[in-house]
Amino acid sequence: MDLRLLEIFCLVCEEKSFSKAADRLRLSQPTVSSHIKRLEGQVGAPLLDRLAHEVVPTRVGALLHEHGRRILRAKRDLCEQIDLYLNHLQGELPIAASTIPGEYLLVPVVGAFCAAHPGIRLRLLIHDSVEVLQSVEEGRVELGFAGAKRRSDPNLRFEQFAVDRLVLVAPAAAPWSRVSAIGLDRLMREPLLVREPGSGTRMMFERRLEELGRRPQDLNVVAELGSTSAIKRGVRSGLGLSVLSHLAVQDEVEAGRLKVLEVPEIGRLERRFFVVTHRTRARSPLCEALLTWLAARAPLTIEGLDTTRRKPLKKSI
């Protein structure tokens, strides 16, 4: 069986689309379809069902995908081990991260790593924290970065690599321009913008409300948005308040577009970010090299980033 055909087939299964797989492979869609037909001829059975909106494997295809992923992983690991032996670190490593580490923390660190190892390519996938954990657990990625962890999970290992805090933000304009703090009772009544249920930011905020004897469902949620950027725009437009990462809103606060409000009953809501790996799956040399690189730079403390961390990180690139 041609391993290149197997690689193309696995990518079509994972993307659930011939066109998306073709884009990833930089091939035309007819070429990808032709390769799949060749592989079906080698196997002697149909491998994919073409449904209305997606492509799914047949029973034989699902079996081939399950074993094919292991075969391709073994091939990649072998190539990386040989490269490592020859002192050439190269290859591709997909990693998954939740919004805050993916959009605000990892870019300078990963950029420095890629600059130090020009033969490697890191593919950063942004998901919510729940999907990041699922991606690591199911073996879709070797490495995840999340702002929440499961309290008991036998399959996943969590190691802290950064610290942030959650803050309540409001528009800097009137009527909030002269307000510096609000009580929890008022917060429960104010229009609120929140992230999707799998968001680590939302889970942590709701957990603190429950600790204070409040029910998250009693919040006056006026919109549930799928990105931090969308929520920041909504807050600036006056749609409502929101609880967000201090790192994510720092630039807007400094520019006078948003302001932070204290909620004395809630107090300081510190949030930790974790490197997530699988306890039993073997890690590739590229994954091990990135973990070693991160270990030399963690934990990153986000509080006071301008004076303590932002400049050193930029200099290291």
Which secondary structure element, helix H or strand E, spans residue 41, and what is its range? Answer: helix 29-43
Answer whether residue 18 is part of any domain.
Answer: yes
* 169 and 266 inside one domain: yes
Answer whether residue 25 is part of any domain.
Answer: yes
* CATH number for the domain that contains residue 43: 1.10.10.10
| Domain endpoint, select from 56, 86, 116 | 86
Tell me what pLDDT residue 170 has: 94
Answer whether residue 126 is part of any domain.
Answer: no
| Domain endpoint, select from 67, 86, 105 | 86
- Closest to 262 measured CA to CA, from 170, 201, 165, 180: 180
How many structural domains does the chain have?
A: 2
Answer whether residue 19 is part of any domain.
Answer: yes
- In order along its 317 residues, the chain shows pLDDT tens digits of 788 999 999 999 999 999 999 998 889 999 999 999 999 999 999 999 988 788 999 999 999 999 999 898 888 878 777 776 666 677 788 899 988 888 888 888 888 888 888 878 888 888 888 889 989 988 888 899 988 777 667 889 888 888 888 999 999 988 898 899 999 999 999 999 998 887 888 888 999 999 999 999 999 999 998 888 899 999 999 999 999 989 889 889 999 999 999 999 998 888 888 889 998 887 887 888 888 888 776 655 443 333 233 333 222 22
Answer whether residue 314 is part of any domain.
Answer: no
Q: Cβ neighbours of residue 154 under 8 Å, at least 6 residues apart?
A: 279
* 266 and 168 inside one domain: yes
* 76 and 168 inside one domain: no
Tell me what pLDDT residue 86 has: 66
Tell me what pLDDT residue 306 has: 31
What's the pTM?
Answer: 0.58
Answer whether residue 4 is part of any domain.
Answer: yes
Tell me what pLDDT residue 269 has: 86
| Domain endpoint, select from 39, 70, 86 | 86
Q: Looking at the DSSP assignment, which residues form a beta bridge with residue 159? A: 275
What angle (nearest 5°) sits at the alpha carbon of residue 160, between those of residues 158 and 165?
125
Tell me what pLDDT residue 310 has: 32
Answer whether residue 100 is part of any domain.
Answer: no
Q: How many C-alpha atoms does 61 have within 13 Å on its Cβ side?
A: 24
Domain that includes residue 36, residue range: 1-86
Answer whether residue 146 is part of any domain.
Answer: no
Amino acid at 232: K
* CATH number for the domain that contains residue 243: 3.40.190.290
* 75 and 171 inside one domain: no
In terms of C-beta density within 10 A (0-12 exposed, 13-18 middle, 19 or more buried), how is residue 304 classed?
exposed
